[in-house]
Chain A
């Protein structure tokens, strides 16, 4: 069974540019969550998508956005990149049932903003 796939693995962007990251969840999983991981702030929740709808959102500026497609694949977009956006962006996939279910992470996309 394939795990969570994130592409690309590495990205280098310039300040002011925008970037799109992709996440393919485990087959059958319908919930996709995104997290930002930095040495200073740890793992912080960005947003969660379920059935193509944003179900929950963390405390990040509007420059961070996402979407989910009918096949549950998700993308996140960061516009007007800042140096502080350099981080490992992680996607987690969950099989939505009654109550909370286990979340499985991909390997992440390492974004460097220069």
Chain B
């Protein structure tokens, strides 16, 4: 199977600063990498994703980069706001496994006002 590692496990930033969360995966056959935000008492919410044929994708203050050679991908949040505080999960999809995802262990982001 696939193994996804995520760092850091906790991250505190001042409001307005940037936050970066990094993930590595082990299987080069992985082809799709979503990021989820989970707030307390809620299910994970898909915030951005990237496919293996793309190196970078941006959506307003959120961007994701993928380095297939190094097998790592990162989430970048710019101009952080208190409402960005949540747990963020990266995930990887291994081709030919239906819709099964392998998740990182999560990063608890706190944005300090």
Answer whether residue B44 sits at the interface, using C-beta atoms and an 8 A cutoff: yes
- Chain A, Cβ-Cβ closest to B42: A107
Q: Do B101 and A103 touch (CB < 8 A)?
A: yes
Tier of interface size on chain A: 20 to 34
Contact with A along B73-98 (1 / 0, CB 8 A): 00000000000000001010101011
Is there an interface contact between B97 and A56, defined as CB atoms closer than 8 Å?
yes
Bound CA span A50–B99, Å: 10
Distance in angstroms from A74 CB to nearest chain B CB is: 13
Contact of B106 with A105 in the complex, beta carbons under 8 Å: no
Contact B43 A90, beta carbon cutoff 8 Å:
yes
Known: A42-B103, A90-B44. A102 touches B49 (CB 8 A): yes
The answer to the question of A24 belonging to the interface, with a C-beta cut-off of 8 Å to chain B, is no
Binding site secondary structure of chain A: strand
Contact A94–B43 (Cβ < 8 Å): no
- State whether B100 touches A106 (Cβ < 8 A): no
B36 beta carbon closer than 8 Å to chain A: yes
Which of chain A's residues 24-74 have a Cβ closer than 8 Å to chain B?
31, 33, 35, 42-45, 48, 50, 55-56, 58
**B9-34 interface bits toward A, Cβ cutoff 8 Å, 1 = contact, 0 = none:** 00000000000000000000001101
* A89-111 residues at the B interface, CB under 8 angstroms: 90, 92, 94, 96, 99-108
Cβ of A102: which chain B residues have Cβ within 8 Å of it? 34, 46, 49
A-B pairs, top 6 by smallest CB distance, nearest first, are A105-B43, A43-B103, A56-B98, A55-B98, A107-B43, A94-B99
